[in-house]
Amino acid sequence: MDVTKPVVTTPTLPKVHGRRPPRGLESTPSSPHALGRFGRMFRNLPVFEQDPADLVALADTMIDARGPDEPVDLPLGAADEDENTKIASGYTYLGQFIDHDITFDPVSSLQRQNDPDALEDFRTPRFDLDSIYARGPADQPYLYEADGLRFVLGETVSEDQLFAGPDLPRNQPSTGERRALIGDPRNDENLIVSQLHCTFLRFHNRMVDLVAEELRARRGDDTPAPAADIFKEAQRRVRWHYQWVVLWDFLPRVLGGRADGAGRDLVEEILAPADGSAGATPRLRFYDLHREPFIPVEFSVAAYRFGHSMVRPTYFFNDRVRGFTQDAHGRIQDPAQRLNTPIRTPIFSLDFGDPLAHMNGFRPLPGEWGFEWKYFFDMGATEAGLPQPSYRIDAVLAEPLRNLPDKVASGDSPFSLAERNLLRGRALGLPSGESVARAMGETPLSPDDLGIDQPSLRGNSPLWYYILKEAELEAGGEHLGPVGGRIVAETFIGLLWGDPLSFLRVEPAWTPELAVRGTFGMPELIAFAVPEQAPAVT
Q: Which amino acid makes up residue 231?
A: F
Of the chain, the percentage scoring pLDDT greater than 70 comes to 80
The more confident residue out of 104 and 88 is 88
Q: Would you say residue 175 has pLDDT above 50?
A: yes
Q: Would you say residue 121 has pLDDT above 80?
A: no
pTM confidence score: 0.88
What is the spatial distance between Cα 135 and Cα 132, in angstroms, rounded to a whole number? Answer: 9
Q: What structural domains and CATH numbers belong to the chain?
A: 8-533 (1.10.640)
pLDDT score at 527: 98
pLDDT tens-place string over residues 2-53? 444 444 443 333 333 333 444 445 545 544 344 557 899 999 999 999 999 9
pLDDT score at 290: 82
Gyration radius (Cα) of the chain, Å = 23
Q: Across residues 253-259, what is the average pLDDT?
A: 77
Residue 509: exposure state from Cβ atoms within 10 A (0-12, 13-18, ≥19): exposed
Torsion angle of the four alpha carbons 5, 53, 298, 472, in this order, in degrees rounded to the nearest 10: -90
Q: Would you say residue 346 has pLDDT above 50?
A: yes
Q: Would you say residue 513 has pLDDT above 90?
A: yes
Of the chain, the percentage scoring pLDDT greater than 90 comes to 68
Q: Which of 99-113, 160-174, 326-340, 345-359 holds the top average pLDDT? A: 160-174
| CA angle (371 as vertex; 370, 377 as ends), nearest 5 | 170
* 74 band by pLDDT with thresholds 50, 70 and 90: confident
pLDDT score at 124: 67
pLDDT score at 410: 60
For 211, phi then psi, to 5°, come to -65, -40
pLDDT score at 111: 37
What is the spatial distance between Cα 190 and Cα 312, in angstroms, rounded to a whole number? Answer: 13
Q: What average pLDDT is seen over the chain?
A: 85
Determine which of 51-60, 103-112, 386-395 has the lowest per-residue pLDDT on average.
103-112
Determine which of 8-17, 247-256, 332-341, 399-408 has the lowest per-residue pLDDT on average.
8-17
What is the spatial distance between Cα 534 and Cα 36, in angstroms, rounded to a whole number? Answer: 42
pLDDT score at 258: 52
DSSP-derived 3-state class of residue 413: coil
For 295, phi then psi, to 5°, come to -110, 110
pLDDT score at 407: 65
Determine which of 58-72, 369-383, 385-399 has the lowest per-residue pLDDT on average.
58-72
DSSP-derived 3-state class of residue 246: helix
Closest CA to 384 of 1, 71, 79, 46: 79
